[in-house]
Structure 1
Amino acid sequence: MDDRLAARVAEQFGLTLITAVPVGFGADPTATLWRATTRDGHEYAVKLSGGGTPAGLVVAAGLARRGVSGIPAPLVTRDGRLSAGHDGRRLRVVPWVSDERAADGGMRPGHWRRFGALLAAAHAVPLADELAGLPREDHTHAAIAAAVRETDRRLHAVDGSADRWTREVAAHWRAVAADAARLLDRVDRLGAELRACPAELVVCHGDPHLGNVLLGPGGEVWLVDWDDALLAPRERDLMFVFGGGPAFAFDSRLDEAAFRAGYGPVEPDRVRLAYHLGVRALDDLWSWSAEVADAGRSEADRVRALRIVEGLLSPAGLVGLARGALRDLGRWDS
């Protein structure tokens, strides 16, 4: 962390940092995260981000204030705001709660139960005051559809003059291009169907995969990074367990029974699950493919992105799960 940013933290949040260590968690290329320590020994997560929306901080603060456990409350600036501007990005500070990520394989039945209870509590919060003004799911996915089509155009135009990583990801894309086009078509149809059938909207995290779940030594579970928070049908979040559990559980064994014990009785709408699963699969596929083909990225970043693309396209990967969900509904071959 440079001196200007440390000074900004002191000026806006009243914290004098003595250490600030970069943390490589997360996939947001617009974000940088530090684990910072103050003179009194307290630790904080300091994040500078240009992605998502300010709504995430509003949601995290609102849920923490309402007593929803497992959500670190963001600090406020000296003048009462949840973030400060810095070089065109948002600077926010929250208490550092843990460096044990659930994605690394530590989820046990008790964690899954607490994770279910945490999401249930968030979904049950009344939509009043500041929460009523959150972005809303509209089932249009227009930006994702445009990005998929543009990525398809770019990668089909790749020739032998391109670098190794671009050629490799272009070959992967071309191998599944027909399936990707069909998936987008089916998602478009489901979106139109769901726009005509409104559902109850609840406060959703929007991206509660295990990379955003932290574990504590006493069995605690925290859900962080609320940047994509919105009002949506609960399937937007439940998709990560009921729709794509094997793909989203990373190295942890999915325990659906324990999750249900914490969340409570629920039977997600299979059509909505299939829709959100398909949208997420397309979003991940185009964005990680584009990162591989970005010659401005480091080789390490491009290799990592290529491995993620290969995982998305593997037999147990997200693209296959989305295809299977549609097939189970009789919507894939029709």
Structure 2
Amino acid sequence: MGETLMRKWLLGDFGLEVVELTPVAYGADVAAQVWKASTATNVYAVKWSGAGTNTGHQLAAFLADSGLAGVPELIRTTEGGLWSVHAKKRLTITPWIDGLRAAETGLTDEQWSEYGELLRRVHDAEPPHRLRDALPKHSHIDARTPAIADEVARRLETPVGEVAEELAAVWAQYEHVITDLRTNRPPRPDGPRVVCHGDPHLGNVLVDRGLHLIDWDDVIYAPREQDLMFMLGGMGDVGPTTPAQQNAFLTGYGPHTLDQDAIHYYRHVRAFEDVIGWAHQALTGPEETYALAVVKGILSHGLAALAVSAER
């Protein structure tokens, strides 16, 4: 999608006359494109994405409008909407946060406590019943993962290229883990549901003078363990890496008795999504070699290894 067309959309949809537009690399979400857009007076983050659901942006707007610090506001369209749509993808705008991703900088113990407080405020939020009832109850990524898993398996029957051949070898080495993830899912938890971000790892946290939780595409109404799972091991550099960091987060988060069965369920689900998603990217691009390395890490010592080891 060209710069000229994006400038036209920003002017027509949001009334923003952009003087500088710069593409920004955006993590693992191959369905999204992100730009830094400057006007004569302000700087914005622009995202054009086909991922997630509309309710995620509605919830993020509710939280920001309610004054929840750490959730960026959504800039309204000229007609008062939260997004516009082009080619079946949502175009959303937030103020530009001039900070670094926590996945790159890490967090101090004090910041881990601050992040625990932020996530607790998200979980304790009480949106209007109409919005709450519209929130997804199940992961849209999880729903489409089995079909992608079948495609990956077919491609690996006759791998083409060095990366695919190496991935096929990895698939064979960890066949027992992959089979477990595909066929041995734990029972779905039935505990109390709260507003969950759905993907609160450090790749979605920006750090400047405070912490900012971004990318609300995967919002879900679920037991809070859906989010807390990310803070309890197996996430590498995008989660706590020491007991002190984990304790700092939990101290900031405050009192809650963890449902270990729910943690196990969401860990298992996420491990399956990640293994299959990154394997598919290793086969189809972009950054095939990097995606292959991620798959290896998840299976050998990351979330998948942790999920399956709990069952043995």
Q: Does the TM-score normalized on the shorter chain lie above 0.5? A: yes
Range moving further from structure 2, 130-139 or 266-275? 130-139
Q: Percent identity?
A: 35
The answer on whether the counterparts of 1:103 and 1:250 sit within 8 Å (CA) in structure 2 is: no
The answer to whether 1:322 aligns with 2:310 is no
Partner residue in 2 for 1:172: 170
- Give 1:67-82 correspondences, 5 Å limit: 67-82=67-82
The Cα of 1:230 is off from its aligned counterpart by: 1.4
The Cα of 1:55 is off from its aligned counterpart by: 1.5
> Alpha carbons of 1:144 and 1:87: their partners in 2 closer, same or farther (altered >3 Å)?
closer
- Give 1:209-248 correspondences, 5 Å limit: 209-216=201-208, 218=209, 220-246=210-236, 248=238
**2:139 and 2:282 mapped to 1: Cα distance?**
30
The Cα of 1:142 is off from its aligned counterpart by: 4.5
Deviations along 1:122-141, one digit per CA (max 9) or x if unpaired, are 11111424233111138994
What amino acid does structure 1 have at the position aligned with 2:88?
G
What is the TM-score of this pair, normalised by structure 2? 0.92
RMSD: 2.2
- Give 1:1-334 correspondences, 5 Å limit: 2-40=3-41, 42-128=42-128, 129-137=130-138, 141-155=142-156, 157-159=157-159, 162-187=160-185, 189-191=186-188, 194=189, 198-216=190-208, 218=209, 220-246=210-236, 248-249=238-239, 255-294=245-284, 297-298=285-286, 301-315=287-301, 317-324=302-309, 327=310, 332-333=311-312
Deviations along 1:225-279, one digit per CA (max 9) or x if unpaired, are 0000011110000010025354632889871221122211122111111111111
Number of residue pairs the alignment of both structures matches: 310
The answer on whether the counterparts of 1:103 and 1:252 sit within 8 Å (CA) in structure 2 is: no
SS in 2 for 1:121: helix
Range moving further from structure 2, 66-75 or 178-187? 178-187
What amino acid does structure 1 have at the position aligned with 2:44?
Y
**1:139 and 1:152 mapped to 2: Cα distance?**
21
> Alpha carbons of 1:271 and 1:96: their partners in 2 closer, same or farther (altered >3 Å)?
same
The answer on whether the counterparts of 1:235 and 1:269 sit within 8 Å (CA) in structure 2 is: yes
What amino acid does structure 1 have at the position aligned with 2:117?
A
* Structure 1 portions without partners, runs of 5+: none
> Alpha carbons of 1:286 and 1:118: their partners in 2 closer, same or farther (altered >3 Å)?
same
Deviations along 1:56-101, one digit per CA (max 9) or x if unpaired, are 2101101111121100011111111110012221111000113311
SS in 1 for 2:300: coil
What is the TM-score of this pair, normalised by structure 1? 0.86
> Alpha carbons of 1:257 and 1:251: their partners in 2 closer, same or farther (altered >3 Å)?
closer
The Cα of 1:152 is off from its aligned counterpart by: 2.7
SS in 2 for 1:75: coil
> Alpha carbons of 1:186 and 1:243: their partners in 2 closer, same or farther (altered >3 Å)?
farther
**2:297 and 2:240 mapped to 1: Cα distance?**
11
**1:138 and 1:165 mapped to 2: Cα distance?**
29
The Cα of 1:10 is off from its aligned counterpart by: 1.1
- Structure 1 segments, 4+ long, off by >4 Å, are 138-142, 250-254
**1:119 and 1:16 mapped to 2: Cα distance?**
35
**2:242 and 2:27 mapped to 1: Cα distance?**
17
SS in 2 for 1:34: strand
